[in-house]
Amino acid sequence: MSSLFLTILLTVLGPIFATSTGDLDAVVVVFRHGDRTPIKPYPTDPYGNRSYWSADWGMLTNLGKLRHYHLGQWFRQRYSDFLPRIYSEKDIYVRSTDVDRTLMSAESNLAGLFPPVDTDVWLGGFPWQPIPIHSIPETMDAVLAAKKPCQRYDNLMRKLFETPYFRNISHINHDLYAYLSRYSGSTVTNLKQLEYLYNTLKIEVMNNFTIPEWARKVFPDKMKPWAELSFATMTFTDELKKLKTGPFFNDLLKYFNNRTLTNKTSQYYSPKFLMFSAHDTTIANLLNTMGAFEYHCPPYTATIIFELRKTPSGGNFVNVFYKNSSEPAPVRVKGCEFDCEWENFKRILGFYALPLDKWDLECSNYLILAVDSLNFFILLGAVSGAVMAVTGVVLLTKRRSRRSEMYSQLPDEEYA
């Protein structure tokens, strides 16, 4: 190869090589669980009998376990020079939502990522080792499951679906909702309920079941775009983004910030690899907050990868990837380049980040809730006023009626 051609090649591909071979300092992966059975069959479901399925409702299937095992092997290959093959709690921390299918997915993934070697072998011929997976009840989890109760978030969601945009969507889908309700036997009146049914039908098709004729008329084409839109609704506005993903991004930024510190005296408590096992909604919410969600239903094992890297001059930048197929695709955080400088990354996502104490305050702040409920109180006041007015008219009419019974007007009194 001529030196001139080599120079040109390095000039063109240099930035790509720098990104892929830069000094990696920390990795955070967030993935959806593997394939599962339907959470609950619809009333007229021909496959609603448990005997059709290899696992109970909403549970991970053998294919789901295998997919995550292979994803763990992919992590091992990608980070072979970064993550030691010998397991240590100093290197990796794993957290899952408190759901069987996500816990089992994390276990399957770790089996592929850390097969026991050397001193990790504890039972000959058994290529698996126990690795801690941390979790808390969903109703207490505002970071990963994002299901800790938040009244303000619920109020904002209710107001969102009362906007002209979503009212029009309900109007457009009136006939589709009625059709799905009639033939499925379940109530379908909104995007979430449509997506729930769409997901069940999709699972049945993926398992080679023949869905009913009525379903084939609307699945997937007529249902798919609305199911995909459903995944964007939970973080449709900046306020919804903050309340739904703010605690996660607060922890992510705090973790990366600790990793950038020159004096890493607490590195023992700051592993280089964080793994989060979650759901399709988690993937959609995080992508949407970053301004990178292209409407779709995140597939099984869909994974967001955050990589914190160092520049030769000692600075830091972040790469984000989305892996929903064989190879990860670069993700551009809105307002930043792919090689997003750490300070810019921190500034952009810091807008949405919420520490748990502030999240709790915003969720329970009665002044904020009162502002959100202002329309309700205005309506209540208007109704109360109308009731009082009607009551007044009725009382006045009765009073005049009683007067007319006791008093007779004189002939010329009309002009008095």
For residue 148, give the nearest of 77, 229, 246 by alpha carbon.
246
Q: Which two tokens stand for residue 143?
A: 């970071």
Q: Which two tokens stand for residue 63?
A: 């294919």
For residue 26, give the nearest of 105, 86, 96, 79 by alpha carbon.
79
Q: How far is CA 260 from CA 94, 255, 263, 272, 331, in A?
A: 21, 9, 9, 11, 22
CB 336 within 8 A of CB 345: yes
Angle separating helix axes 151-160 and 238-260, nearest 10 degrees = 130
Report the largest interatomic distance among the alpha carbons of the chain, rounded to a whole angstrom: 124
Active-site residue list = 33, 280
Q: How far apart are CA 312 and CA 22, in angstroms?
A: 8
Say how many Å lie between the first and final Cα of the chain, rounded: 119
Residue with the two structure tokens 């991970």? 60
Q: Which two tokens stand for residue 322?
A: 């989305």
Q: How far apart are CA 54 and CA 59, in angstroms?
A: 9
Beta-ladder partners of 26 = 308
CB 190 within 8 A of CB 226: no
Beta-ladder partners of 319 = 307
Strands, DSSP E only, in 15-100? 23-32, 92-96
